[in-house]
Structure 1
Amino acid sequence: MIGDARVVGLGEATHGSHEFFTMKQRVFRYLVEEKGFTTFALEASWSAGLLIDAYVQGEAEGDGDARRLVRRTLAGSPWQRREFADLIEWMRAYNRSHPQRPVHFVGTDLGFPGIGEQPFAEVTAYVRKAAPASLSSVEQLYAGLRPFDDAIGYLTRVPLPQRQRNADLAQQALDLVTAAGKDGDAQYEWAVQHARNIARTFAFSTMRADDAPSVTAAQLLRDRAMADNTLWWQRRLGGKVLLSAHNGHIGYRSSAPALYPTTQGSHLRDALGDGYVSIGFTFGGGSFLTGTDPFAGNWQSTTVPPATLGMNEYLLDRVRPRDYYLDLRQAPPAARTWLDTAHPTYDAGTTFSRDPLPTLALGAGYDVLIHLHRVRAAEKL
């Protein structure tokens, strides 16, 4: 079904169901061992990805085991779970036995819940070497920005004019770094990538949470940035990428179009054409993690009953008695008509509302669908 795709988006209908997470490890292992994939990309911060990849490559021995690493790098996120620690540990073990063809881990998101120190340090280290005359300017621009470790506190406590000024400072630093070298130099391209992620994080942080157009504009920036980060990694390192994120990011449509009018998946399809394949998840009922204050780590289990008449999952549950997957592009006309019609669906991001349920046309949202009849909440470390 994925053919020769260079990037495969594998979604999740919730941010915290055991079966979605374990299925991702099974799919990734298959793609690595049978289809030549080399990267697992996650809807997590760029900075977290750098630290996790160092562990996967056999570095950062002081981090102990994968569970300790996940507690530190994915703290407060729905992926601070045993299933992702198991995936990361498998990747590290794989690299020990395949040193000539290692796999990588990358975070595709902006700097949330924080940027940390490493991207700033990488940028200034490059400028010190390649453009020493600009070093003092870059250090001065970053002086009040680093480290950036509490995005939620920053958004809620720092006045908007100061956030806008900080975004301008981060952009000025990016401009200086961009002018310090040229494409083709690996160190230059890494420095620009780090500086770009810093600048976009601060640009996103000018969002006004009480203003709907501002929130939508920020989410447009975020999905664009996640797509660009994925494409940059794939082109810079080569190989093929399994991209793990919520259905609303890897698909071509979101169940919340007012908030996410253009998705990461749409950007990737525009850039790669058939080189990108989107795989969505649905589930007929069960439990998952959600919360009123998820970025503080307050994820709690929510349980929903089996899907009811009229929902996408109600009909999907009746196709066959076992979990299954299907290529939506091959659907016959009668099924295509139903797939291209929006129906209520189970879809939970950081929050979940069932009154009313969101709606989505599955056929317009994904190329491939995996349907699970029942799921349970992901496991704590």
Structure 2
Amino acid sequence: MGRYGDEVAGLATPLQHSEDLNVLIDRVGDARVVMLGEASHGSHEFYDWRSRITQRLIQELGFTFVAVEGDWPDCERVDQSVRFAEDADPREALQQYRRWPTWMWANEEVSDFSRWLRGHNEFQEPARRVGFHGLDVYSLWESLDEILIHLRERHPELVPLGLDAFHCFEPFVDQPQQYARSIHTRPAGCSCEVSGLLAALRRSDDFNAWQNAEVVAGAEHYYRSLVKGGAASWNVRDRHMDATLARLLDHYGPQSKAVVWAHNTHVGDAWGSVMAEQGETTIGTLARQRYGEDGVVLVGFGTHHGTVVAGEDWGRPMEVMPVPEARRDSLEHVLHETAPDQSLFVFPARAQQPAVLRDRLGHRAIGVVYRPDWERWGNYVPTMLGERYDAFVWCDESHAVRPLHTFFTDVTEPETFPTGV
């Protein structure tokens, strides 16, 4: 079984049914935030187990909302469906996702979960219904559109502010990264227009409009940071997601609790991997700083082999691709050799952690852009598992997620190109 065999056997809980999650639910306890990761954006098992965990957190521990690595306007349609629409099917809202990669959220697994959430909410008072929200920064144009609709309906005197921002970004409508290049010749960019719009909407009593303004401001900052290169734009994005999560918790009230769904590279604590050495932070790191280590539970996910939905390049048609067996020097190879095929690990206190949690091992990360033939030269993040997460869900063989549709209308390349995590 190798050098880690006995250690893994002592930590692993075989995972077959939702009841097998009891040790994780106990570990969550009074935590205010639980972050559930994924090793890829296109694997059924990760979505399935996140759904099962989240259902128990909602039913047994009273978690208030789910926040995902998705765009605010798209997720707002799902939120309206699961919380307020009497006849709406959340699946219809998910089918309206248009920005590549649509399969991240417009898939059968999220459809099943959101329908479950809609059914759960039917029996709750409006103030106790569980929400579904997006944390990400990419919906610049969609958020601007939502702001203009809001201003025309509710605050026509502020429409010129919205139009100023809209027209400022208009030359970059098809290629927002061109905005970053324009900063060299026009340093102010659209920052003044965005600041004025955000200042006006922060005073609004409409949380959705305020958040769309925060997205526009975050996107401006994000594309501006591309000029700096390195970790700057990554950190702008994760800090935006952290701030959005904090606003949501404030909005829902002092007793609110959040479940976050995002990639391992966002959920995991950067100090438990090479990411911190590269100057990168994560929403997991920021949450531990903001809410304390006892207030946050970070759960990573992993797989050894199987299939996944991804694209060969940004904007290319999605494919069901093979996930080859993990590298022999990786965490995934260790768990393939020593752990039950599906298993749960809830880690002991760091002072009591065995070597498998303390040693630095390569940990697989697959984005929306993936080339299996190139995997041995990338796709692994050196990780100390016990520092990066509080718990880990292992699926030895994983299978492709089931997309709702196969067409895309927006293939704009955000900074996460070419990996897409």
When normalised by structure 2's length, the TM-score is 0.76
Q: 1:282 aligns with which of 302, 309, 318?
A: 302
Contact 2:140 2:215 in 1 (8 A): no
Task: Say if 1:297 and 1:20 are closer, same or farther in 2 by CA, change over 3 A.
Answer: farther
Contact 1:281 1:369 in 2 (8 A): yes
Q: Secondary structure at the match of 2:211?
A: helix
Task: Say if 1:187 and 1:300 are closer, same or farther in 2 by CA, change over 3 A.
Answer: same
Structure 2 counterparts to residues 24-103 of structure 1, below 5 A: 24-59=50-85, 65-73=89-97, 75-77=99-101, 78-100=104-126, 101-103=128-130
- 2:111 pairs with 1:111: no
Contact 2:312 2:369 in 1 (8 A): yes
- Displacement, 1:285? 1.6
> Which residue does the alignment assign to 2:222?
204
Structure 2 counterparts to residues 139-150 of structure 1, below 5 A: 139-144=162-167
Contact 1:293 1:299 in 2 (8 A): no
> Which residue does the alignment assign to 2:34?
8
- 2:196 pairs with 1:172: yes
- Distance in 2, matches of 1:305 and 1:42, equals 27
Task: Say if 1:114 and 1:279 are closer, same or farther in 2 by CA, change over 3 A.
Answer: farther
Q: Secondary structure at the match of 1:298?
A: coil
> Which residue does the alignment assign to 2:231?
216
- Distance in 2, matches of 1:195 and 1:104, equals 20
Q: For 1:288, give the aligned amino acid.
A: V
Gaps of 5+ in 2: 1-26, 405-421
Task: Say if 1:157 and 1:252 are closer, same or farther in 2 by CA, change over 3 A.
Answer: closer
- Displacement, 1:55? 1.1
Q: 1:307 aligns with which of 307, 312, 326?
A: 326
- 2:390 pairs with 1:367: yes
Q: Secondary structure at the match of 1:109?
A: coil
- Distance in 2, matches of 1:115 and 1:164, equals 23
- Displacement, 1:316? 1.8
- Distance in 1, matches of 2:115 and 2:84, equals 11
- 2:259 pairs with 1:242: yes
- Displacement, 1:218? 1.4
Q: For 1:8, give the aligned amino acid.
A: V
Q: Secondary structure at the match of 1:293?
A: coil
Contact 2:146 2:209 in 1 (8 A): no
Q: For 1:69, give the aligned amino acid.
A: A
- Distance in 2, matches of 1:123 and 1:109, equals 23
Task: Say if 1:70 and 1:222 are closer, same or farther in 2 by CA, change over 3 A.
Answer: same
- Displacement, 1:15? 0.7
Task: Say if 1:7 and 1:345 are closer, same or farther in 2 by CA, change over 3 A.
Answer: same
Q: For 2:234, give the aligned amino acid.
A: Q
Task: Say if 1:96 and 1:330 are closer, same or farther in 2 by CA, change over 3 A.
Answer: same
Q: Secondary structure at the match of 2:109?
A: helix
- Displacement, 1:227? 0.6
Q: Secondary structure at the match of 2:76?
A: helix
- Displacement, 1:371? 1.1
Q: 1:231 aligns with which of 246, 265, 280?
A: 246
Deviations 1:260-312 (A, max 9, x none): 71111111111101211111111122122222334x36332232333343210
- 2:295 pairs with 1:272: no
Deviations 1:156-199 (A, max 9, x none): 58852479622442123223444xx4xxxx71665443322211
- Distance in 1, matches of 2:122 and 2:332, equals 41
Contact 2:266 2:283 in 1 (8 A): yes
Q: Secondary structure at the match of 1:214?
A: coil
Deviations 1:78-122 (A, max 9, x none): 222111111112211222233453111010111337434224433
When normalised by structure 1's length, the TM-score is 0.84
Q: Secondary structure at the match of 1:236?
A: helix
Larger deviation: 196-205 or 119-128? 119-128
Q: Secondary structure at the match of 1:307?
A: coil
> Which residue does the alignment assign to 2:4?
none
How much identity, in percent, do the aligned residues show? Answer: 24
> Which residue does the alignment assign to 1:347?
365
Q: 1:292 aligns with which of 272, 296, 312?
A: 312
- 2:399 pairs with 1:376: yes
Gaps of 5+ in 1: none
Contact 2:109 2:401 in 1 (8 A): yes
> Which residue does the alignment assign to 1:195?
213
Q: For 2:357, give the aligned amino acid.
A: L
Contact 1:219 1:259 in 2 (8 A): no
- Distance in 2, matches of 1:152 and 1:255, equals 34
Contact 1:45 1:115 in 2 (8 A): no
- Distance in 2, matches of 1:99 and 1:194, equals 26
Q: For 2:400, give the aligned amino acid.
A: A
- Distance in 2, matches of 1:2 and 1:152, equals 44
Q: For 1:32, give the aligned amino acid.
A: I
- Displacement, 1:147? 8.8
